[in-house]
Structure 1
Amino acid sequence: MSKEKLKQAALHLFAEKGYDGTALSEIAKEAGIKTPSIYAHFESKEALYMAVYKDVIQTEMKSFKGLNRDEYKTLQDYLKAVFYDATDFETSPETKKFFQRSVYFPPTSLKERLIQETESYEALTFEMIGSFLNEIHMNQAEKERWIHAFYCFIDGLSVEHELYNKLEFEKRRKSAFEILNGLMV
């Protein structure tokens, strides 16, 4: 039994049922092991959850860093690619759903730790996006406003993705980026 297989089983169930709705016995069953075997890899359900959360954040960071600025003619094209990547809820639906649950409905016992991890992740992305916004000579207040709007649109679209059909969602995503694009001039 690999630690990775165990985390994949946990990701699937935590995304589907949430932290409180998932028993370690269910994770063990999905991973094909007995429940006590989980403790060979993780000291608790909380430790397993945090390991999955950190993996999800690392996956998001790799995806973000995988978009090479040099491959895009303009900053707007690059930031559009970043925005569309961040609002792509179809490619890794379990990962996105797990992240949404963790942020919107964090387990009470892990809330502070999850907030800290999320703040660290956002600080890195703020720094990276901010450095690209320097290309258009935004001052610090303008950069912060743009990045805050960027995250607000991502958060809103994560909910709208669940509410609307694909065509309507795409219209809303396009509109959101057009507003962000307007903030860059």
Structure 2
Amino acid sequence: MRVDEIKRSALENFVVKSYEATTLDDIVKTIGIKKQSIYSHFKNKEAIFLSVMTSVLTKEIAFINDFFSSQEETSLDRTLYALLLKYRDRYLLQDDAELKFLLRMAFMPPFDLQKETIAQFHLYNDALEKALLTLFSSYHLSDQVAQEGMLSFQHFLDGLLVELIYSGSSIDRIDKRLGISWTIYWEGFSKRLQED
């Protein structure tokens, strides 16, 4: 279907070049249609971007829900660490365009679409917070400790995501930093669990 081809080409171009640097000519070049053909599906580049953003968010929220559903029988520390590794692998090893798009737009949204992009990203962030809070709460923690766990882990994850964006493709560097940081994080949070 042409709409899906247009969106896929746009996604790949937005990831590599950015929204601002991507032209409609760039988008049509890889799928072999004329630029005028885009207008039968989308009003302009902004409409393509917003459609891509909505599709990516839907997939990423489904990823979050599927991941946590698959971890129901796993310990808290293993679930959290598995999520970190999953993001690392998707970004570095699987070259996941949707994840790269989401992160690029979250940290560097298009200037003219900042408001819309940030509002959309908040939907993803809210879904992640909800899933993490449900996870922490499932271990019969007090509301306060579950909230602290969710917030502290989310900030830990944010640090990893920033590292992925700016470190390039050095998995060894990521693994070294992740291993050390995780050990310190989990030791600290384990002490908090004992106080609860």
Q: How would you bin the TM-score normalised by the shorter chain?
A: 0.7 to 0.9
Residue 27 (structure 1) aligned with residue 27 (structure 2): yes
CA distance in 1, matches of 2:128, 2:100: 20
Aligned counterpart, 1:178: 183
Aligned counterpart, 2:167: 163
Name stretches of at least 5 consecutive residues in structure 1 with no aligned partner: none
Q: How does 1:82-121 map to 2 (within 5 A)?
A: 82-88=83-89, 89-90=91-92, 91-121=94-124
Amino acid corresponding to residue 163 of structure 1 in structure 2: S
Identity %: 27
TM-score computed with the length of structure 1 as normaliser: 0.86
CA distance in 1, matches of 2:136, 2:59: 23
Q: How many residues align?
A: 184
Name stretches of at least 5 consecutive residues in structure 2 with no aligned partner: none
The structure-2 alpha-carbon separation of the partners of 1:92 and 1:59, relative to structure 1 and needing over 3 Å to count, comes to farther
Aligned counterpart, 1:54: 54
CA distance in 2, matches of 1:26, 1:16: 11
The structure-2 alpha-carbon separation of the partners of 1:158 and 1:126, relative to structure 1 and needing over 3 Å to count, comes to closer
Aligned counterpart, 2:36: 36
* Cα contact 2:15–2:101 (8 A) shared by 1: yes
CA distance in 2, matches of 1:153, 1:31: 39
The structure-2 alpha-carbon separation of the partners of 1:39 and 1:178, relative to structure 1 and needing over 3 Å to count, comes to farther
CA distance in 1, matches of 2:3, 2:44: 14
The CA deviation string for residues 112-151 of structure 1, in whole angstroms up to 9 with x for no partner, is: 1111111111112211111110133333443333333323
The range that moved more, 55-64 or 12-21, is 55-64
TM-score computed with the length of structure 2 as normaliser: 0.82
* Cα contact 1:75–1:135 (8 A) shared by 2: no
The range that moved more, 141-150 or 124-133, is 141-150
CA distance in 2, matches of 1:166, 1:86: 12
